[in-house]
Amino acid sequence: MEPENHSTIQRILYQIQQMNQEERELLILRLNLSSEEQLLNFFSEPIVPIEDFTSFRVHKYLLLYVPPIIIVLGTIGNIMSFTVFRTNSGKVSTYTYLSALAVMDLLVLYVGLLPLWIAQLSDFDIKDQANWTCKLVVFLGYVCSDSSVWLIVAVTVERYIAACYPLQASKLCRIRKARYIVFVPILALCFVNCHFLLTVQLQLESNNTINPVYICDAGPDFSDFVNGVWVWVDAVIYSFLPFAILLILNIRIIQKVWIAKNERKHFLTTERGDISFHKGKNPSGTGEVSKKLTMMLLVISFTFLLTTLPMNIILIATKTWNEQNQQQRADFFLAKTVSELLMYLNHSINFFLYCISGRKFRRQIYTLSCKCIHSPAKADSYELNRYQRSPKWSTETHEKVDLGI
């Protein structure tokens, strides 16, 4: 340790010894420590720059090189998803939700991840430039990310109705209704998160008279609410409650598909006359559609859980985390960065999940590529002929609505 640093630490320890008990307890609380012994050790240990720790350097590298990859993949994927779903939104109600989901995922990347990456490159953060940008960026970030999750819930609810209540599906799952219902979670989440327009603002971080530094943070009167209460509320809204709903609904859909599978086995063992009678109803085709859609929703649901749950755990863990030495701080930065990038990854990979689990979606992408390469007339002719060849395509029956399913 350099003599100057040693002398500074000695002066700090002397000042602590001169404090009364109440002042020491207040200092312990502000440093997020648990005892007076930790307070003395905090200033007695040699101070090593946090940049010297490997975990902190890895955290910086991840923030520098991973975001542009996620942004590029997410931009291409979400634009292509939106184009496919929007083109067919007049045929199927599900496409309305999925096209809105693509838009929200794209906004999450550009409102949240892009400014984070720019801040790593240039130390310029748009949130810290003005009070109104601070409020607006935080508000939009929460609204877009929450809306993305609840649009997945809306799609799953619609699929649950179609699978478990097929007779009511033709009335409840209409295209016109979907165009209005899609705004319900978005408007509701705007209302839930509108407090950020009041509770966050620019805060003076460094009182340098030449070049003062401001950061976007909770206002003095709302710090406990934003950094304490709302962490739990947001974890419920963004992760825990949606996943619980998705899990329950998908289990019910799986049960329905399993029952349909047993019924198909029963049809195959009945007399030929009975088989001919039921053949026109095509129970196996309907069951196959349900099975494929269920698999896609399960993939999306569990991908959502794996990529967003770590971020909520990290945020909640900070409320009970007391250790503040440099190594632990560096490890925390790394863990927070990894969980945050996983969260943004969730908003960039739905297109690839559609491609993996959806044969018809891949066909639509191929058709879209043909339209870009060849003349519009030839592409339209190919698309029309393909739909004419497919007896499963219907603009009236909800059971046959899915692109990959």
Residue 402 host element (H or E): none
Apex CA 131: angle with CA 129 and CA 136, to 5°? 95
**First CA to last CA distance, the chain:** 65
Residue 151 host element (H or E): helix 131-164
Please report how many Cα atoms fall inside a 13 Å half-sphere around the Cα of residue 123, on the Cβ side. Answer: 2
Tell me which residue has tokens 């497919």.
Answer: 390
How do beta strands 213-218 and 200-206 pair?
antiparallel
* pLDDT by position in tens, the chain (length 405): 444 455 566 666 667 666 777 777 777 776 666 666 666 666 555 556 777 788 888 989 999 999 999 999 999 999 988 988 887 766 777 788 888 999 999 999 999 999 999 988 888 888 888 889 999 999 999 999 999 999 989 888 888 888 788 777 777 778 888 888 889 999 999 999 999 999 998 887 766 556 777 888 888 888 888 888 888 898 889 888 988 888 888 888 878 777 777 776 666 666 555 544 444 444 444 445 556 656 776 777 778 878 888 887 887 777 666 556 677 788 888 888 999 999 999 999 988 888 887 677 777 777 777 776 664 444 444 343 443 344 333 333 343 444 444
Nearest CA among 163, 71, 153, 83 for reference residue 118: 71
User: What are 161's two structure tokens?
Assistant: 């109705």
When computed from its CA atoms, the radius of gyration of the chain, rounded to whole angstroms, is 27
